[in-house]
Structure 1
């Protein structure tokens, strides 16, 4: 199986590569459109600022390629947020795969949210064998609102989407590679997914 991690200068991906290797898989870090298009699985990670990340995608026209991909794609953290339509962070227009806006947590809570929090209302094969209320590791100041594509929820000031799915596109706000045994299981579930065309 050919798995690629999209390289667009948005964060250190070594821990993700190590987590994939521990599961007995391998992945290649690339920004080559042809390699990404031909991959069996695509992982779209991200740490940093939304507008910088989108500009980086535009430099190599990956902003045009990503929405056209047909194989399973997993966005992680900022990667998930960039799959949404826009973000309050620097008033950024994103990729528009999920029809939902990304908003900043209110000042009434500690921002960023850093540490472990629970996920619940799990609704996808991505969460096969993952118990409700499992803890995942999160580091973020912005969140996707709940919507028709929400497949997992977390509470922090209010309930929000901690995972999304539309067709072959998946997104998780937490870092599965840093979330212990259940995070590793979520990565494994993604890597074992069959190619998907019409899930909602």
Structure 2
């Protein structure tokens, strides 16, 4: 059985992530303990809400350095993907984890599309990667976000919402999904299964 640690730091949709992983047969540990994070086989960083609050919470719990030092598979989900980058414009400017170069900006899709981007969008330009094995172009994923990560070399898949939205990113052992895989039906379950199968 695969083991996975989910950061329960008060800024994430932890229960639904836990249940989705358990449906796949994983043993899930929920923790905000820095020592348990450092020793985890795989780590998921969920996130819902404001970047500045989430980073302050990680700082208060002494989790920033263990996350930055983590060398086994790490997956950021929704806000958790954004936290992997260097900075965000949210809250007047927020320093993030700095694991992937770039700045997170407010989503600005034009007057015809509401912000936040909330609902189902198709994945496109899906690149070959172990996390996306078996996930085709056109797969549906469920998004809820008002800020967007920079589109660059780290992007593995995109969605379209008045412009490209980096939907999956990677830098080394760190991956991110801007959407919620735990709410993204078959494609999301497939991605979580792939994550559980990554060598720790």
Query: Structure 1-normalised TM-score?
Result: 0.94
Partner of 1:98: 100
Query: How many Å separate the matches in 1 of 2:175 and 2:18?
Result: 18
Mark the runs of 5 or more structure 1 residues left unpaired by the alignment. 196-200
Question: In the alignment, what sits opposite 2:15?
Answer: 14
Structure 2 residue 193 is the aligned partner of structure 1 residue 188: yes
1:156 aligns with 2:157: no
CA contact (8 A) 1:105 1:157 kept: no
Question: For residues 40-63 of structure 1, what are the alpha-carbon distances to aligned partners after superposition, in whole Å with 9 as ceiling and x for unaligned?
Answer: 110000001110000000002211
- Between the two proteins, the alignment pairs up a number of residues equal to 195
Instruction: Encode CA deviations 1:74-98: one digit per residue, 9 max, x unaligned.
Output: 0000000000111111111101111
The Cα shift of 1:194 comes to: 1.1
What secondary structure does 2:164 align onto? strand
Per-residue CA deviations over 1:74-126 (Å, capped at 9, x if unaligned) read 00000000001111111111011110111111253300011000111222111
Cα distance in 1 between the residues matched to 2:125 and 2:76: 19
Corresponding residue number in structure 2 for 1:4: 5
The Cα of 1:160 is off from its aligned counterpart by: 2.3
- Segments of 4+ moved more than 4 angstroms: none
**1:139-150 → structure 2 map (5 Å cutoff):** 139-150=144-155
Offset at residue 2 of structure 1 (A): 2.9
User: What is residue 85 of structure 1 aligned with on the other side?
Assistant: 86
The answer to whether the Cα contact below 8 Å between 1:75 and 1:171 also exists between their aligned partners in 2 is yes
User: How far did 1:34 drift?
Assistant: 1.2
CA–CA distance in structure 2, aligned partners of residues 24 and 7 of structure 1: 20
Q: Distance in 1 between matches of 2:194 and 2:178?
A: 16
Deviation at 1:134, TM superposition (A): 0.6
* Alignment partner of 1:116 out of 116, 120, 139: 120
Report the Cα distance in structure 1 between the residues aligned to 2:182 and 2:82, rounded to whole angstroms: 17
Contact kept? 2:87, 2:103, Cα under 8 Å: yes
Which residues of structure 2 form unaligned runs of 5+?
none
The TM-score normalised by the length of structure 2 is: 0.94
Cα distance between partner residues in 1 of 2:107 and 2:181: 21
Q: SS state of the match for residue 96, structure 1?
A: coil
Q: How far apart, in 1, do the equivalents of 2:47 and 2:12 lie? A: 6
2:27 counterpart SS class: coil
Q: Shift of residue 170 of structure 1?
A: 0.4
**Cα displacement (A) at 1:37:** 1.1
Give SS of 1:27's match. Answer: strand
Q: CA deviation at 1:64?
A: 1.5
